[in-house]
């Protein structure tokens, strides 16, 4: 075990969700993210060339890519999203591209329901600056909480951070931040509910992984309101990952719903 477990608490938040777009393009072999070191955020192996780096990355030149600017949002259709995020013992992984929080055991207690479909929590990771934007404005940090259905489809909750008070969950993650390529156990349970804003208002659209292989299998739920992180905490991410955000992709006429709940 990784130290004392704090009291587990389940969260059930009801949110409406926007209408789902056209049919999802499923990867033949569901992939959360390429562990390959052959891509980067700059230079010849940077985002403009991802689709040429490997046949497996062809989707990076697709028509339903992420991230996008969320400004053209319209009203959402009715639907429900509920998050079930009790605290968990975690490993903190530095994979060279980001820092990732992975549960040490998959006991089935971490999941979300999206329109009645279940997606199990797999991992959460961070981008500096944020990948999604609103009217070209980016935040200093964006967390992606990745959930996967039995058929491989993904539902990712994006949460923005702005400078403010120190965030307890980030503190636990940063205290265990390992060097690149290494993994360390978190010293305390990770409670992702500490990364939720008060409002459940969210943007919804159908898109992709924002890293190779860029699979177009993601239902995005980007929470509208940022939460606070200490400026020193953001600075640690900025030093470790000066730029790990993919440039904005064309929205290609996709429907972006905003639910103001």
Contact residues for Zn ion (CB under 5 A)?
Answer: 144
Give the Cα separation of 39 and 51 in Å (integer).
10
CB 4, min distance to Zn ion, A: 30
CB 77, min distance to Zn ion, A: 26
Residue 214 bridge partners (DSSP) = none
CB 78, min distance to Zn ion, A: 28
* CB nearer Zn ion, residue 76 or residue 209: 209
* CB nearer Zn ion, residue 16 or residue 237: 237
What would the DSSP string read from start to end of 143-156?
A: EEEEEE-TTS-EEE
* CB nearer Zn ion, residue 92 or residue 188: 92
* CB nearer Zn ion, residue 172 or residue 208: 208
* CB nearer Zn ion, residue 144 or residue 204: 144
Give the Cα separation of 96 and 84 in Å (integer).
29
CB 210, min distance to Zn ion, A: 5
Closest by Cα among 229, 222, 241, 156 to 194: 229
CB 144, min distance to Zn ion, A: 4
CB 127, min distance to Zn ion, A: 5
Closest by Cα among 169, 154, 126 to 6: 169
User: Which backbone phi and psi does 157 adopt, to 5 degrees?
Assistant: -95, 120
Q: How many CA atoms lie within 13 Å of 29's alpha carbon, on the beta-carbon side?
A: 5
Give the Cα separation of 204 and 81 in Å (integer).
11
Cβ atoms < 10 Å from Cβ of 201: 16
CB 3, min distance to Zn ion, A: 27
* CB nearer Zn ion, residue 110 or residue 144: 144
Q: 122 with 149: CB under 8 angstroms?
A: no
Between the alpha carbon of residue 7 and those of residues 53, 86, 190, the distances in Å are 46, 9, 11
Q: 258 with 143: CB under 8 angstroms?
A: no
* CB nearer Zn ion, residue 138 or residue 144: 144
């Amino acid at each position: 075990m990784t130290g004392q477990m704090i009291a587990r608490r389940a969260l059930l938040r009801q949110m409406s969700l926007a209408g789902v777009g056209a049919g999802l393009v499923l990867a033949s072999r569901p992939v959360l993210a390429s562990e390959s070191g052959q891509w980067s955020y700059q230079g010849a192996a940077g985002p403009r060339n991802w689709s040429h780096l490997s046949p497996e990355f062809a989707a990076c030149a697709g028509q339903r890519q992420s991230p996008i600017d969320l400004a053209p949002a319209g009203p959402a259709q009715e639907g429900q999203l509920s998050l079930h995020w009790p605290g968990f013992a975690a490993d903190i992984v530095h994979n060279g591209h980001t820092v990732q929080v992975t549960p040490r055991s998959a006991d089935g207690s971490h999941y979300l329901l999206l329109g009645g479909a279940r997606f199990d929590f797999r991992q959460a990771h961070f981008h500096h600056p944020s990948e999604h934007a609103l009217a070209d404005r980016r935040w200093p940090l964006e967390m992606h909480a990745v959930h996967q259905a039995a058929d491989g489809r993904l539902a990712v909750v994006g949460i923005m951070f702005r400078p403010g008070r120190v965030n307890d969950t980030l503190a636990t993650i940063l205290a265990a931040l390992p060097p690149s390529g290494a993994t360390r156990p978190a010293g305390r349970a990770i409670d992702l509910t500490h990364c939720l804003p008060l409002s459940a208002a969210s943007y919804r659209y159908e898109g992709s992984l924002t890293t190779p292989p860029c699979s177009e299998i993601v239902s995005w739920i980007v929470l509208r309101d940022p939460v606070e992180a200490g400026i020193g905490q953001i600075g640690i991410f900025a030093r470790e990952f000066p730029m790990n955000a993919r440039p904005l992709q064309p929205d290609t006429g996709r429907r972006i719903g905003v639910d103001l709940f």
